[in-house]
Chain A
């Protein structure tokens, strides 16, 4: 065989291998798309304008928390405190934005605060929670699983105590000011195909853009990936490992704070159980979207796809009239499948 034909043969083989690995690496996407098509055939309403807007809105609601937690996963960590942080900031946001003068107002002496101030308060509280996590992880070298397990419990007590404060006495925090409702759930966009697109979709898009910029274009973002990939290399190259860790968790916390602010209005009636298990959905979305627990790997676009896919499943199951009890089985299966596919990329066959 001449050298050229050998090269050609090698190339052809490489191509078939590449096609196979492309299929395997994107297997989840392919399955999801097939599933979506199947659901659409069973119930054509699945692809109606209202259904699509519903899917997009729900994706937007869950996206910020996932964007935050993804940073923790890039650092080979995780964050179990996300859900409680969302719950706490949701209750705080709601309590500060109740209708003035109503009898059930939690803090009657505080009028209805301006919305930007409440957003800042929610994000600041989230950031402080995150910084607390990051400090324990970075300073004491504890595994984030342990640290955030502890924080999560601490936050639950704070949350339980908070909803009993003021005039509230443990009731659901509702009766929200109209400005708050319309800021979050209202729409400044013209109706598309007769459907209202809520403002929180716009916020999610802006946050996604911001996170993309932070991850890809800033020193902090690059340091985060380097740290997740090889902490020692980052340290000897002069990266401030402690500060970067604290900032990653803190940024994640700020995202939970923002999610809390949105959820406060979106749910409308907030209790100590608001935000429960949000972290699990967020982690699942990241894993499905290819943010690897191996560390140092992940893309913003992957996270968006991950959140979208999880929502597709939930909404799709309802629409396809499949027993709702099955949703957890399907979710669990997808997580295992996604992780196994992900690990396959990093295993070297011998």
Chain B
């Protein structure tokens, strides 16, 4: 039976100078359903949502909410009309309390609007938290809380607007498995209440589990809208990429050689890493699995000298090394691709060339004083070709590239330093499916060339598909080591829960 639509976005178009960001895109959300919105990065999902919230002005098309045409001019107006969004990047006032954040922009007032009532605020906060089974202290200061709890506050905030439409933009990227279950319970509750949920995610397992309908976009255009029950993962990928991807992972061809790196009892001084010991071979891809906060990143950053080590020894080719600072680590032939690309990877407003040569400036010096433009251009050209970076030119600002291309620029940056050991922290985070395949291929090629690779990932299929061995972290400790070819997700999960 056809229900009347709760939200209809009809023939939305949006043009930026030189780019058609949205071309005649339609989206219909029925009440009491979860509608997944999928597409590669740059497909136009966020542009479409920004048009809904009035952050962008649409050039054409109309939006109908509950049978009435609407045209919001700001996110505040959207909120007041029952359209809320849980942003992917947490936008919170970190120095303020949970409840100050929750009611920001609409503080309950007494005395004729003169005074904010802490009492009402605290009571309503507790009501909402009880309803959603969120266990967070309403008076706690945001900056003292883990990211997952802050995410829950953001979700509670969206729910607290009594919204009819709630948009979730990659809500699970910082949640643990249990928290994801909790989120899904909340979403199901909202669905039962008759809300329409728009769910944006790259995680296909999640999409197929939680959603009723799936709309797929590509290059700013609508591709398909289907019931989730009729879709398979391969089908979604085919629709998103627009071509057959015979497999999600390239064939593995790397051969392992001798042990090049030996780590004994490495612990962090200020971080939770305890007594990690492992080895890495030449040409090997070593994965590190574990839940968020289990100490995965800490392994890489202690090894690279970003974090301070408390004890333990590192041996490179049997020779002890220290790696007290990143500078020292780079000299010893290490390279680190950081987890937060935007925060600690790219220099956003600088161009591709500067982003490429930054770790290798010493080798472009002429007479020890002046940098050779010619050499820098040559190396950047090499990187653009070898990494297959799609960019108009070397002098393009890196922030205007897609996530996948930015990541390739950074990998290129590190290859110029001729590293022996590459530490990759979430190398495919926030990267679309097609580009992921290319990154996997790059990683395998690097292993083929005899580099040792340690790769942290929160996506288990990726670890199973790319790595040779996988170390499983749990509660800051090494819980076990498995052979990627023989293990299963269940085995890894069991190990990951060992010291929780």
Q: Chain A residues in contact with chain B, CB under 8 A?
A: 217-219, 221-223, 225-226, 228-230, 232-239, 294-297, 349-350
Contact = CB atoms under 8 A, between A and B. Distances in A.
A349 B270 contact: yes
Nearest to A230: B93
Given A218-B114, A349-B270, A297 B95 contact: yes
B92 A222 contact: no
A349 B74 CA distance: 39
Contacts of B104: 222-223, 226, 233-234, 237-239
Contacts of A226: 93, 96, 100-101, 104
B100 A236 contact: no
Contacts of B95: 225, 228-229, 294-297
B91 A230 contact: yes
Contacts of A350: 270-271, 301, 306-308
B489 interface: no
Given A225-B93, A225-B95, A296-B93, A234 B116 contact: no
Contacts of A294: 95
A296 B96 contact: yes
B109 interface: yes
B105 interface: yes
B115 interface: yes
Contact of A229 (B96, B105, B269): B96
Nearest to A229: B93
Nearest to A74: B95
Contact of A218 (B94, B115, B269, B301): B115
Contacts of B308: 349-350
Contact of B100 (A217, A222, A232, A349): A222
A233 B94 CA distance: 10
A238 B79 contact: yes
B11 interface: no
A238 B161 CA distance: 12
B437 interface: no
Interface string B242-285: 00000000000000000000000000011100000000000000
Given A233-B101, A349-B308, 16 more contacts: A217-B116, A219-B109, A222-B96, A222-B104, A222-B107, A222-B116, A226-B93, A226-B101, A230-B92, A230-B93, A233-B92, A234-B105, A236-B87, A237-B76, A238-B105, A349-B269
A238 B93 contact: no
Interface in B67-84: 74-76, 79-80
A64 B89 CA distance: 39
B96 A225 contact: yes
Contacts of B96: 222, 225-226, 229, 296
Contacts of A222: 96, 100, 104, 107, 116
22 contacts: A218-B114, A218-B116, A222-B104, A222-B116, A225-B95, A225-B100, A226-B93, A226-B104, A229-B94, A230-B93, A230-B94, A232-B91, A233-B92, A234-B93, A234-B104, A238-B76, A238-B79, A295-B95, A296-B93, A296-B94, A296-B95, A350-B308
